[in-house]
Structure 1
Amino acid sequence: MSQEYYNQGLEKLKQKNYKAAIEQFTHALQENPYFADAYRYRGLAYYESGDIYQAISDYSECLKLNPRNGEAYYCRALTRLELKNLPGSLDDIEKAINININYAAAYDLRGIVRRKQGYTTDAIANFKKAADLYLRQKDKENCRLCLEKIKQLQPKEYQTAIGQVTQESRHQQSKNQNLPIVSEDDYFTELLDKAERGDTPEALEDLNWLLLTDPQDGKAYCCRGIVRFKQGKYQEAISDFNQALGLDFRDAIVYRSRGKVRSHLGDFQGAIKDFNSAISMDPENTSVYVGRGNTYREMGNYIGAIEDYTKAIEYDSKNAHAYYNRGIAYTYIEEVQRAVDDCQRAISIFCEKEDWENYQTVLNHMKKFKSPSPEIQKTNDEVLRQRLLRLVGGHWAIAERLIEQAKHYYPGMSEEWYLETVIYDLERDKDDSN
């Protein structure tokens, strides 16, 4: 019979007939005084009808019968907040979260309490956690509300980074450099780590949901562009990076990532321009120098590539990728010993980091040096090639075209003769221009 009264009480509560609901829950408790949920829902009916103290009493009775009822702790915390009992409310929230670590509403409420206590940074962290959990639960509206609370509390410096201030503030932003795209505990870090592990569809789904919630989030567009790049969807990635920049999210990572995509698509000049922008914003970011170096190498500008890899190594002497890529660039200008030294250094660093996949990649590349071709063994040819490469500004593709032209006009000569002829012509033209 108590269950029947309880069900009728739930129906009355749903209809917002709180007085009738209280009567039905009271009948249920008279039949069964150990009915914990009847206390909890009668407490909710009391709360909604404005009887705060009676609501707290019922929530407490529920918790005596069921100390693991996280919803009862949350409801009592909400009621204590009405009484401005912030410590008591916070204590109940902590207990609710200990019972259910993914309790989105509890984090949301804790953010409200911490904001009232004057702890803005902690409040933002809680609203962010709540938004993350609501996003996972596909609760679009509550996620949006948490994001709005975050925006209201963000310091001006952060708002600058997402393009929500005046041009004067943007100038100040450029002086202080942009804030990092994400903090260590940020939801975006988790998404990018997920994509790095190969879970790109799941990461993409979460980002799509986030953009449905807040279509003006430039950071989310940037992250989705990175994920799409990892999926090989280069044109879609470019579109996302453009959207991020259009929303004034001008972090170095946007330009760096778009530069990589442009390089993959063969837009080398556009890639270089993006890498230059990234370097102007974050001049000590080694991955930008490696990315620009890779583009220079694709363009045949091996000297420019080597200079960028060297710059990356100056900032980070443990950058194995910079050593490996510089080794590859050295092979193109036939400085074999330097190439071997760089690859050996990369192998050593990858070994220290236990990055066995990249370790094996460099090791396989090293096998090419065991049996050098006759051209590499010709010391004089090597010197001439380096000399020619300097004359054409590091662009070996230009040098090759000049050599082919010489072969066309003077067939049957030695390789050394062609190199010397092209060098002579270039140096003569240079002297004439002076």
Structure 2
Amino acid sequence: MLDAFVIRSDVMPNQPSVSPQEPITLTTAQAAGRMKIPAKVVRGLCKADALPGAAKDVQGRWCIPIESVEAWIERRDSIPISRTYIDAKRPQVPPHLQNIKSTPHIESTPHIESPNWWARLGSKFHIAHIRAILSILATLVAIVGTTISAGADYTPFRHLLRQYIFIREFSPERQGETLIIIFTFHNTASTNTEPHIKIERRIKEELKKINESKSRVQVEPYVLTADDRAKAEDVGKRYNASMVIWGEDTGVEIIVNYLNLRGIDFANEVQIVERERVQLASSKGYSHFITRDLPGQLTFLSLFAVGLVYRLDENYTQAIKVIEAAISSLPQNTKLTGLADAYFSLGWLYLFQPLDDQYKAVKNLDKAIELDPNVSESYINRGIAYYKMEDLKRAIKDFNNAVELNPVSAGAYYNRGLAYRKLEKFEQSMEDFNRAIELDPNQALFYSSRGSAYASRGKLNLAFQDFDKAIELGPIAEAYFHYGNAYHSRGDRQQAIEYYDKAIELDPSYLYAYENRGLIFSESGKFDQAIQDFNKAIELDPKNVYAYNNRGHVYLKTEKFDQAIQDFNKAIEFDPNISQAYSNRGQAFREMGALDQSIKDFDKALEIDANVSEIYYERGITYKLKGDLVRANQDFDRAAELIPHKAQFYYDLGNLYYSNGEIDQAIKAYDKAIELAPKFAEAYNNRGSAYVTTGNIEQAIYDFEKAIEDSPNFAAPYYKLCLTYTLQGQFETAFPHCVKVDELGGYSPTP
């Protein structure tokens, strides 16, 4: 590449003529002869603008005005040479102090400065040599600094010096900026094509097209070979750079390497999937390409770098667009070594996209594996995509391939353990979690997930040990989240909320912690707080069907039916196969009196999942309200078949019959609930109320006393015994029961 030819006014043809013996400009060698200094120093002075008017011609040679050379010589010769003469017998008094007498200072006497430390140092015979040495060293440092800063042609010396001293050629990365450093490519070709300059220019062009002003591209003069990754990383970190690019031109092929340095270890990057976190795999942000057609593939190489900039900024959507454009710029059937890295990066980026885009992650990782089938990380990430798509068999197959390629990949075992657990293959899941922990015992995430597996099997002591270990290593939000789930399963809502609070404190964007805490608030009747949590979940994920469904359920409970239906509509819009949203919307329509629309929603819910007892139960209620008792009883029977062990169902059914005045049916339902749960105090209490209605006081009293036996602090049966005995005129018997009600804080009558 030719340097610009500069025409200056001081060397224009209209200047006075000079004889052939005195040319108007001198070459570097001629100037060096006149100035009595090496030619390399002359070139350094030209670059430093110390010789005004010096410029390169079209062949890259310096043309130096003779006036500048003569002026430089004149300035040099006019500088006096100072010498210090030292008397061997006694020190000389410095000249500017010889006439000063030791007299008191008066105002009319001029003030004379005392000799400075350098002059005093020179006046001492025994250290005069030290001063001379320091002077020489200072001169050498000045010369070296001047030649380096001027960019003089001391390349071998410069590289030798940089082995010991770090010299910055430009400012390091600033806050809010992305610095890309391109090292001078090592060249072994017959001609130097300067690929680093071409790549720099094209990257700048592409950044300008997209108005990317926060990124800066700099060429570092340091020459690196293609395999000198350690040096590239070291120098890049000294500049605090986000990315470094380096490579080599062999004349046959050009090697281009990319390395991300912004503190991201992609092997430890995690992504929430369902209510677990899978461990993504990456090539540590390093990409390696070999091309034999730089001009034809320059667009790809530059766009790929821009895509990596977006990836560093976590703008994954834009990164996908740019890297896809990079790949599209390549002709079909292009043979570019390292192209698998580009497809791998695309697959990795798509894992962060919505569920509907996971097939694109699979598609790109398919291509990466086709181009390079021996990279375990590609199988891990494709397995994660299948996991998110709930294709667990294919996910496990990919994790198996990853383990086969890399038997010490803790992430492969961990992810396979998650898949096995989702398939309820508990033993295989635990084996994989154990193996992952054995390979990487300092990964808090592994302990958290193993603890969650223990909790799902009711082994809470082991679960808590793992959660504690995860917190000790982390602490990570997942451990507190799983702690909260475990306490929730034990019915300890307050303790569960405290752990969800801690999870959210550690990770304010932890979607599932908000969801589960919102469910507890809803169960506890704290509907405003529940709404706030579901609102936050929707803010974090505007297409979260579960958050819309759960918020709609709160609106249903609080009789805000229009808002409830809007939320259920949103949930169904984002996932047309969510049976629970149809069932909940059916309940809302029923409460609004739209019974036919209610039946349609229950029918749709059962079409999606025909084995949910609660849907049959709710549809049965709607049929009952329509007066279709035959279908109502059929639905109640079907619900009972699906959950014959669930006493709560028969208890709820008994309450329904009781509220409708069908006392005999209510008693039968309570009988079934008590048969399934002999210590079901609420069922005894409500059956007692039903017997009072039929006039069977003796059986009613038995049921109330049985309820008290099973739950001594349950106020309702005391109240009903107080009332029953009072109505029977047995005041003395009634009195202690009435007192007990007061002791327990009173009671508001319900059926």
Q: TM-score, normalised by structure 1?
A: 0.49
Bigger radius of gyration: 2
Structure having the larger proportion of residues in helix? 1
User: Which structure is higher in RCO with an 8 Å CA cutoff and minimum separation 6?
Assistant: 1
Q: TM-score, normalised by structure 2?
A: 0.30
Structure having the larger proportion of residues in strand? 2
